[in-house]
Amino acid sequence: MTKRVLMYLNQFFGGIGGEDMASIEPSFKEEVIGPGVGIAAAIKDNAEIVGTIIMGDNYFGENEEEAKQFILDTINEVKPDVFCTGPAFNAGRYGFSCAGACQVAHEAGIPCVSGMYCENPGLEYCQSIAWVAETANAAAKMRKAIPAIANLVNKVCTGEEILPEVDGYFPKGVRKCIHVDRIGADRAIDMLLARLNDQPFTTELPMAEFDEVEPAPPIKDLSKATIAIVSSSGVVPAGNPDRLQSASAQQWNKYDVTGMDDLPAGDYYTVHGGYDPMYVNEMPTRAVPLDIMRELEHEGIIGHVYDTYYITTGTGTAVANAKKFGEEIGKELSELGCIDGVILTST
């Protein structure tokens, strides 16, 4: 069955005009325009382009909500199987516009394809939700970009496997566990031999980059400050009432400690399966130091210990979940308005 492809171009590639037309309102034409012509020819065995959205670069940037609504309305009307944007090469506004458009389609469940140069600012987000073919940095190389994009559209239509090493796109960043022909030991020895013999090899796990956060400003007057305790040690009330997982946490929990100076052994324990639980079960405050923090409070060194502590389990917990928990806990603490600082303990 022939698949339906919806194209998305800016005002220039859509044939309307140049910079002077960058703020033009979006339009939809049941036509094949600009790069669409080359792409349509290359995909004709599997799909047809049923129409083209033309979105002014500035219009998208200045009216994002309306722009996205237009795209969504068009998608709902046209019901495409694939959404194809750009190529945007290194054009920043166009790249953002393509990324935003892909977001709309992606959320509507439509697979997306695009084409960008590696430095396009719209790439970082777009590549996580669309197959973005790697292009040169100028439209002069359109002749190479078209087959690259068409190849991705074709494979999306036929359901053939799409691989970064084969199909020239920026990896989406999804690491899928698979079976392979050879066991790990054989692959490891081959890789070491390649290194020892100065031969090329490809690592199966490139090292990640970690991003940094601006340090938050320090507390000015500790004696008036409210400090909250957060921990990844898995310490919960006896019985684990909210069923916190012992590894690969899918949730975080919070527990009221109003009026409490301690987390007595027996009343509290740890469910964390990644470390020897003995010491923390003997004295849960070895992981969640409520007792010491209360001492500091009673002595006036800090103003107050927040009356709720936050807990999750930090083993085998995917970084994405940890990030989400941090965001959610951070949001809650921030919205309380009274939290001046946090101590976060890890095991």
Residues numbered 202-261 forming contacts with another protein, rule: CB under 8 A: 203-208, 210-220, 222, 225, 227, 230, 232-233, 243, 245-248, 250
Tally Cβ neighbours within 10 Å of residue 77: 11
- From the list 14-22, 38-46, 135-143, 174-182, the region that binds another protein by CB under 8 A is 174-182
- Applying CB under 8 A, among 66, 201, 264, 300 the residue interacting with another protein is 201
103 binds another protein (CB under 8 A): no
Smallest gap from Cβ 344 to another protein, in A, equals: 5
Smallest gap from Cβ 26 to another protein, in A, equals: 31
Please identify, using beta-carbon distances, which residue of 52 and 313 lies nearer to another protein: 313
* Residue 136 tokens, joined: 């040169």
Smallest gap from Cβ 264 to another protein, in A, equals: 15
Smallest gap from Cβ 19 to another protein, in A, equals: 37
Q: For residues 170 and 132, is the Cβ–Cβ distance under 8 A?
A: yes
26: Cβ contacts below 8 Å, ≥ 6 apart = 53, 54, 55, 56, 59, 67, 70, 71
Q: For residues 80 and 157, is the Cβ–Cβ distance under 8 A?
A: no
Secondary structure (3-state) at 184: helix
- Applying CB under 8 A, among 44, 193, 224, 267 the residue interacting with another protein is 193
Please identify, using beta-carbon distances, which residue of 35 and 289 lies nearer to another protein: 289
Smallest gap from Cβ 304 to another protein, in A, equals: 12
* Residue 63 tokens, joined: 């009216």
93 binds another protein (CB under 8 A): no
The distance in angstroms from the start CA to the end CA of the chain is 55
Q: How far is CA 191 from the centre of its chain?
A: 31
Please identify, using beta-carbon distances, which residue of 10 and 233 lies nearer to another protein: 233
If binding means CB under 8 A, how many residues of this protein chain bind another protein?
108
118 binds another protein (CB under 8 A): no
Smallest gap from Cβ 335 to another protein, in A, equals: 9
The amino acid at residue 278 is: M
314 binds another protein (CB under 8 A): yes
Smallest gap from Cβ 184 to another protein, in A, equals: 3
Q: For residues 280 and 286, is the Cβ–Cβ distance under 8 A?
A: yes
Contacts of another protein in 261-300 (CB under 8 A): 271, 273-280, 282-283, 285-287, 289, 292-293, 295-296
CA distances from 123 to 28, 139, 179 (A): 24, 16, 30
185 binds another protein (CB under 8 A): yes
- Cα–Cα dist 254/312, whole Å: 9
Q: For residues 129 and 116, is the Cβ–Cβ distance under 8 A?
A: no
- From the list 9-17, 72-80, 151-159, 334-342, the region that binds another protein by CB under 8 A is 334-342
Please identify, using beta-carbon distances, which residue of 258 and 346 lies nearer to another protein: 346
113 binds another protein (CB under 8 A): no
The amino acid at residue 319 is: V
* Among candidate residues 34, 269, 16, 261, the one with its CA nearest the CA of residue 139: 34
* Plot region of 337 (φ>0 → left; ψ -120 to 50 → alpha; else → beta): left
164 binds another protein (CB under 8 A): yes
- From the list 65-73, 79-87, 89-97, 309-317, the region that binds another protein by CB under 8 A is 309-317
- Cα–Cα dist 90/135, whole Å: 9
Contacts of another protein in 44-73 (CB under 8 A): none
